[in-house]
């Protein structure tokens, strides 16, 4: 039996769901930041550091844990990481002070990189002519997890308290781990390297592959921009003139969920050898999205349009990036993922810090100027690289 013969539509759906659920754990706090600030009596800046802790924890997991997908049996690794992520959620749910929230968040984020073990595993199991579509489907699940996490967290906070989403998500992760144990095939890539050399090989791949370097830079910039928009959103919408509740703020995640459509379409373009078109269109839309976002303080309709366009653009760039790097070295997909996604989430953590600073010093105008400048930089990077066709291909 060939590997891709075992990748049924049902298994793809399960892997997409598991990916989304794992990554969602990093985003439950975002619409609840002002509530957490009031609950624990801490500043807005310290509450905002919860988002940064999640991003940094994720980045550490990408460096230290994701490469293990090329060394260990993947089904066991995936299930173990999913269960440990649930432990982090339970710590956060029972937190009595902000330090426990930060620790639980970081622990969950560390093991939620299981999403980045599932993704190259799906790419390995997929037939070559369907790989872009499968990657796009898994990425749709990941995006839905990121964006719907805000909606679910807001709704559950309205029903119970800010803790409710964590008490619900933890057992759901445990059930998902059991489903993955039953459904996933055993698979051992066996890179035949000691762990220190395995980690070192990630940096070697980065040094040897110009396509990886370019795509990692574009990925980092795009996720920086994503975080620049989403991190200060709760503060904007909870203040004048909106004064929205946690539930209402969480519902804005439904708008961005439409970006899942872009993930699938970008994957199909990659399967047809047109991934570079998806990259260009995505970067151009990313820059244009800041025009309606600039009117967010006075028009919620303009803000919604901007969110929709930005999330579509970010996912188009992300999926085309991943489709490009997965064509490089099939035997090292977990390490390629580690290199790319480490840069990606360092970008996200940087975006959270930069946007918090910009909002604190210049309000929403500062956020818009920052996002526009970063988007223009990302487009310029691609256009310059496109003049060197072998690198950009």
With 50 as the cut, is the pLDDT of residue 392 above it?
Answer: no
Segment among 36-45, 123-132, 268-277 with least mean pLDDT: 268-277
Averaged pLDDT of the chain: 85
18, burial (CB in 10 Å: exposed 0-12, middle 13-18, buried 19+): buried
Distances (CA, A) of 161 to 36, 93, 183, 236, 298: 10, 10, 34, 21, 30
State how far the Cα of 108 lies from the Cα of 120, in Å rounded to an integer.
21
> pLDDT above 90 covers what percent of the chain?
35
Q: What is the mean pLDDT of residues 274-280?
A: 81
Model pLDDT, residue 3: 47
Segment among 286-295, 343-352, 356-365 with least mean pLDDT: 343-352
Q: What is the mean pLDDT of residues 105-120?
A: 92
Query: Longest Cα pair distance anywhere in the chain, in angstroms?
Result: 61
Model pLDDT, residue 236: 86
CATH code at position 105: 1.20.1250.20
pTM, to two decimals:
0.77
Q: What is the mean pLDDT of residues 332-357?
A: 86
Q: What is the mean pLDDT of residues 369-384?
A: 95
Of 207-211, 274-278, 379-383, the range with the highest mean pLDDT is 379-383
Residue 189 lies in a domain: no
Residue 84 lies in a domain: yes
Residues in the chain: 393
Model pLDDT, residue 124: 81
Four-point Cα dihedral 182, 183, 185, 190, nearest 10: -80
Label residue 130 by pLDDT band (50, 70, 90). Answer: confident
Segment among 117-126, 271-280, 341-350 with least mean pLDDT: 271-280
Give exposure, 210-223, as e/b (b: 16+ Cβ within 10 Å).
ebbbbbbbbbbbbb
Q: What is the mean pLDDT of residues 250-268?
A: 69
Model pLDDT, residue 391: 46
Q: What is the mean pLDDT of residues 288-316?
A: 91
Model pLDDT, residue 259: 63
Helix axes 74-93, 9-24, angle to 10 degrees: 40
Phi-psi region of 125 (alpha: psi -120 to 50; beta: other; left: phi over 0): alpha
Of 35-39, 203-207, 373-377, the range with the highest mean pLDDT is 373-377
Residue 188 lies in a domain: no
Residue 55 lies in a domain: yes
Model pLDDT, residue 229: 92
Model pLDDT, residue 167: 95
Model pLDDT, residue 151: 81
- Helix, strand, or coil here: 188? strand
With 60 as the cut, is the pLDDT of residue 393 above it?
Answer: no
Top pLDDT among 54 and 44 is at: 54
Domain with 233 in it:
3-181+195-392
State how far the Cα of 255 lies from the Cα of 382, in Å rounded to an integer.
27
Model pLDDT, residue 189: 67
Residue 187 lies in a domain: no
With 70 as the cut, is the pLDDT of residue 263 above it?
Answer: no
With 70 as the cut, is the pLDDT of residue 2 above it?
Answer: no
Q: What is the mean pLDDT of residues 309-318?
A: 88
H helices of 25-43, in order, are 33-40
362's enclosing H/E stretch is helix 333-386
Model pLDDT, residue 175: 97
Please give the tally of structural domains in the chain.
1
**For 388, phi and psi rounded to 5 degrees?**
-115, 75
How many CB atoms lie under 10 A from the CB of residue 102?
Answer: 19
297 closest CA partner among 252, 353, 355, 235: 235
Residue 190 lies in a domain: no
State how far the Cα of 142 lies from the Cα of 17, in Å rounded to an integer.
8
Of 129-133, 150-154, 332-336, 378-382, the range with the highest mean pLDDT is 378-382
Structure tokens belonging to residue 270: 């990659």
| Contact between 262 and 315 (Cβ < 8 Å) | yes
Model pLDDT, residue 127: 78
Model pLDDT, residue 374: 96
Token pair 């690794």: residue:
77
With 60 as the cut, is the pLDDT of residue 1 above it?
Answer: no
Question: What is the per-residue pLDDT across 186-217, written as a single tens digit (0 to 9) for each?
Answer: 877 666 678 888 888 888 888 899 999 999 99
């Amino acid at each position: 039996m060939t590997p891709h013969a075992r990748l049924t539509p049902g298994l793809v759906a399960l892997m997409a769901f598991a990916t989304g659920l794992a990554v969602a754990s990093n985003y439950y706090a975002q619409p609840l930041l002002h509530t957490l600030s009031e609950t624990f009596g801490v500043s807005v800046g310290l509450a905002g550091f919860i988002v940064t802790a999640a991003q940094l924890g994720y980045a550490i997991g990408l460096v230290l844990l994701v490469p293990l997908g090329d060394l260990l049996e993947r089904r066991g690794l995936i299930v173990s990481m999913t269960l440990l992520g649930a432990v982090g959620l339970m710590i956060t749910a029972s937190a009595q002070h902000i330090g426990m929230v930060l620790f639980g968040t970081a622990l969950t984020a560390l093991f939620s990189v299981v999403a980045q073990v599932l993704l190259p595993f799906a790419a390995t199991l997929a037939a070559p002519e369907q790989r872009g579509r499968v990657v796009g489907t898994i990425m749709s699940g990941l995006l839905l997890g990121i964006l719907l996490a805000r909606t679910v967290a807001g709704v559950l906070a309205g029903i119970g308290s800010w803790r409710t989403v964590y008490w619900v998500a933890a057992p759901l992760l445990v059930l998902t781990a059991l489903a993955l144990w039953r459904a996933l095939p055993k698979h051992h890539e066996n890179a035949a390297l000691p762990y220190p050399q395995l980690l070192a090989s990630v940096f070697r791949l980065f040094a040897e592959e110009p396509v990886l370097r370019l795509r990692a830079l574009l990925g980092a910039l795009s996720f920086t921009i994503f975080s620049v928009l989403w991190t200060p959103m709760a503060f904007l919408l909870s203040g004048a003139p909106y004064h929205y509740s946690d539930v209402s703020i969480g519902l804005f995640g439904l708008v961005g969920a439409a970006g899942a459509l872009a993930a699938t379409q970008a994957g199909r373009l990659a399967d047809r050898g047109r991934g570079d078109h998806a990259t260009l269109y995505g970067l151009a839309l990313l820059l244009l999205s800041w025009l309606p976002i600039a009117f967010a303080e006075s028009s919620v309709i303009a803000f919604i349009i901007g969110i929709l366009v930005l999330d579509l653009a970010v996912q188009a760039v992300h999926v085309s990036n991943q489709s490009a790097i997965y064509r490089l070295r099939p035997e090292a997909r977990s390490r390629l993922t580690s290199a790319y996604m480490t840069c990606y989430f360092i970008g996200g953590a940087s975006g959270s810090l930069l946007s918090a600073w910009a909002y604190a010093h210049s309000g929403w105008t500062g956020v818009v100027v920052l996002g526009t400048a970063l988007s223009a930089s990302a487009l310029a990077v691609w256009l310059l690289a496109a003049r060197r066709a072998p690198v950009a291909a």
